[in-house]
Structure 1
Amino acid sequence: MTFSLKPHVTATATEHGTVLLDQRRGRYFQLNTTGGLILRTLLDNGSPEQVATMLTEHYGITLQQARGDITRLLNALTAARLVTT
């Protein structure tokens, strides 16, 4: 799966996560540190399964929970028209 930000979206890491700016609509979106980690890994060509494994190791959650969290984030970013998959 290829994952990228839309051309009109920029991402900036902050101490509290990641901020996405939709330059076309002038809207900001805030991701917490986990959401930012998921986004960065996917943008660096990591697969959702690699991200899920990383989350289970880092946070001690189940693989099923990690997959669900990733799916919900991707669905939200797609619905907001911030990413392409």
Structure 2
Amino acid sequence: MVLLNERTGRYWSLNQTGRAVLLSLMDGRGPEDAVEDLARRYPSFADRIAQDVEALVRSLLEEKVVLP
């Protein structure tokens, strides 16, 4: 998935996991919901999923790609 911040012209390329997080947020769900979904889908990575989701959401918020 590719996102374009029309205000800055900056592109964001999201992998399948990033796409899942973004779609969860767009559905009105919180980051913790995305963490739970991804931990079920990828149990061997469960220990680092929360950190990765938090980092992605923070970056998207900082760049104003998504709004709080």
CA root-mean-square deviation: 1.3
Q: Would you say 1:39 and 2:2 are equivalent positions?
A: no
Equivalent position of 1:80 in the other structure: 63
Higher relative contact order (CA 8 A, sep 6+): 1
Aligned partner letter, 2:65: L
Which residue, 50, 55, 58 being the options, matches 1:67? 50
Q: How many corresponding residue pairs?
A: 67
Aligned partner letter, 1:52: V
Aligned partner letter, 1:78: L
Q: Which runs of structure 1 show a deviation greater than 6 angstroms over 4 or more consecutive aligned residues?
A: none
Structure of greater Rg: 1
**Identity of counterpart residues, as a percentage?**
33
Choose between structure 1 and 2: higher helix proportion: 2
SS, match of residue 53 in structure 1: helix
Normalising by structure 2, we get a TM-score of 0.84
Unmatched tracts of structure 1, length 5 or more: 1-17
Normalising by structure 1, we get a TM-score of 0.69
